[in-house]
Structure 1
Amino acid sequence: MSKTNDKYEKGRLRSSNITVVISISLVLFLLGVFGLIVINAQSYAEHLKRELKIEAYFNDVDDPKIKDKELSMQKEYIDSLKIKYDFIESTKYISKDDASKIAKQDLGIDDVELFEANIYPPSVQITLNPKKIDSIEQIDSINNILSQNPIIEEVKSDKQAMVTIYQSINKITFWLMIFAGIFLVIVIILINNSIRLKIYAKRFSIKTMQLVGARRRFIMKPFLLEGALLGLLASIIAILGIGIIWYLLATKIGLLLWNPTFGYLIAALIGLGVLIALFSTLFAAWRYLKLKTDQLY
């Protein structure tokens, strides 16, 4: 009879362990998918920021004494931008000829006689570092910095497009954070319930050890170690599932297979799985340590 009971208890414990691992894996998988959405939304936001160019137009030099030095002065100014300012990611020099070609394309004029060349000044097109730019005020400040140099005649940027993009990014980020917080609470509740069911199956063992004089720290240590291992195992399963889904998606639509931010996501999922399992085990075991014997039934 005792062997039958032992087999029954072992079967229940094995079943509860599987349930805990599956529950944690599922919620971490969903949380990881949500993390991928956030990461790619941030990457897309950075892509939009890079598309917003600032163009600084050079003054037309009239003095014949320095006319031959005009190009070298402009190139020297462009090189100094990269050294002085970390908010500049890249620069592109546009000569008068290049500006005329761009204007022809924009205006749709093919006939040379209908188009007056060399009326467009040379300029430098500046791509901003999206990680250094967080607001429109910074764009205005950058425009002022660039326009203060006497070699620059005018600085232009599509401010309205920048305002629209930054407002959209802020709204998306805000609502993503709200949903992330709500989802995290749901995740903790689900995992905590699974852990409590597992500890419930061992409540008599806990009370027996307590009655024979075992300290609470001694009683809880194996439960915490087991909980940490289950959380780690569930995290690995969830990460493997996310990796497979991401590989299939990325190869199908042409996305990068690896983003440096994915490393932080993997570490966060492992840490979250282990921590939630530990704390849930701690609270559930502590609850049964405080129960009286007649309350176990």
Structure 2
Amino acid sequence: MEEKKTRKKRKLGSYPFASVVFSITVALLVLGLFGWLLLHSSRLGTRIQESVEIQVYLNKNLSQSDITKIRTAITSKPYVLVKEEPQIRLITKEEAAKQFVEATGEDFKDFLGDNPLRDLFAVNLKGSYQSLDSLNLIKAEIEKFRGVFEVEYEESLIESINQNLTKIGFILLGIAIFALLVVIILINNTIKLALFSQRFLIRSMQLVGATSKFIQRPFLFRSMFYGLLAGILACGIIYGFTVYMNSIIEGLSELQDTKGFLMLFSLILIMGIIVGYFSSLRAIRKYLKMSLDELY
């Protein structure tokens, strides 16, 4: 019985299953959770950009037909944000006056005797058109439309948002590179330590004439399988974490998209397989080249 156990332990290509899978899962989970944070922060940044409106002021005394034509011309442009329908709304001068009175508590009609405000369209733009250069081109284009008086936007606010998002993007990119390196090192060391117990078996196979490819094959296949399994476990944990967070944070699900999660899960699975493969290959080649004294 004892002899069978010993043979089982020394089976070519085998090494501790639970500890290796657990360690790789934890490493991939760290990468996956950071990817999760990166996805949400990116979507949040885009939402903030898309919430900023440009104001298209219209000439006075336009007919309803002219106003409709201007709306149609604006909504046909590729830079207008679309969520089920184009994000453009008409604010009449009466509505604008009412908002002014509610905000300031003063009614300018009392001393002006008339409403000097203009009808306007509040337009939300896609996040990819939020640079100041793009906005200047959009402003120039819309102001050429017949019936448009002026186009305005909060340049300082948009510039501040873009600068802050750029800074955050660089910080997150740096952390992402660091996290990726940590994950690679963790998986590499885990597999290297797991293969340490197999170094004498590898040497024994060499002594009986086994080729390097024959010795490497079972280790590589098993490490790829462990990496895949660990990736699946990490993806499952991240999915459960996402469901839980959606249940306690209102509106979080609006920052999520299926495509982003599929890309994240694919990256985790590929990382598990590739890093597991090359870590095993590197460790095996190291033990194949060692002398007997070095193995001890």
The answer to whether TM tops 0.5 is yes
Question: Using a 3 Å threshold, how does the CA distance of structure 1 residues 203 and 96 change in structure 2: closer, same or farther?
Answer: same
Which amino acid in the other structure matches residue 32 of structure 1?
G
Partner of 2:279: 280
1:160 equivalenced with 2:156 (yes/no): yes
Q: Structure 1 residues 117 and 199 mapped into 2: Cα distance closer, same or farther (>3 Å)?
A: farther
Distance 2:73 2:217 in 1: 61
Which residue does the alignment assign to 1:64? none
Distance 1:93 1:116 in 2: 24
Contact 2:32 2:268 in 1 (8 A): yes
Which position in structure 2 is the counterpart of 1:173? 169
Q: Which of 196, 217, 225 is the equivalent residue of 1:229?
A: 225
Any conservation in 2 of the 1:23–1:191 contact (CA below 8 Å)? yes
Q: Give 3-state SS (helix, strand or coil) of 1:88's partner.
A: coil
Q: 1:209 aligns with which of 205, 209, 216?
A: 205
Aligned to 2:116: 119
Cα distance in 1 for partners of 2:196, 2:202 equals 10
Q: Distance in 2 between matches of 1:218 and 1:8?
A: 19
Instruction: Name the residue aligned to 1:5.
Output: 6
Partner of 2:190: 194
* Higher normalized contact order (CA 8 Å, seq sep 6+, divided by chain length): 2
TM-score normalized with structure 1 length: 0.87
What's the CA shift for 1:38?
1.0
1:292 equivalent in structure 2 = 291
- Report matched runs for 1:1-297 at 5 Å: 2-3=3-4, 5-6=6-7, 9=10, 16-61=16-61, 70-83=63-76, 85-89=77-81, 90-109=87-106, 118-130=115-127, 132-133=128-129, 135-254=131-250, 255-256=252-253, 258-260=256-258, 261-297=260-296
- Aligned CA distance change for structure 1 residues 206 and 141 (closer, same or farther; 3 Å): same
Letter in 1 for 2:7: D
- Identity within the alignment, %: 28
> Does the aligned pair in 2 maintain the 1:100–1:117 contact within 8 Å?
no
Question: Between Structure 1 and Structure 2, how many residues are aligned?
Answer: 286
95-104 vs 263-272, greater mean Cα deviation: 95-104
Question: What is the TM-score when the length of structure 2 is the normalising length?
Answer: 0.88
Deviation of 1:196 after TM superposition, in Å, equals 0.6
1:109–1:115 Cα contact (<8 Å) kept: no
Quote the offset at 1:44 in angstroms: 1.3
TM-fit CA distance, 1:218: 2.4
| Partners of 1:58 and 1:134 in 2: CA distance | 22
Q: What is the rounded CA distance, in whole Å, between the counterparts of 1:218 and 1:46 in structure 2?
A: 52
**Matched residue SS, 1:228:** helix
Counterpart-to-counterpart distance in 2, 1:49 and 1:285: 51
Whole-Å separation in 1 of the counterparts to 2:213 and 2:150? 72
**Distance of 1:221 and 1:133 partners within structure 2:** 51
Unaligned runs of 5+ in 2: 82-86
Provide the alpha-carbon RMSD of the alignment.
2.4
Q: Deviations over 1:171-229 (max 9, x none)?
A: 00000101111121111111101111122222222223333333322222221111111
SS for the counterpart of 2:129 is coil
Q: CA deviation at 1:162?
A: 0.6
Letter of the 2:179 counterpart:
F
1:21-79 deviation digits (Å, cap 9, x = unpaired): 11111111111111111111111111111221000101124xxxxx6xx2212211211
Unaligned residue ranges in structure 1 (runs of 5+) = 62-66
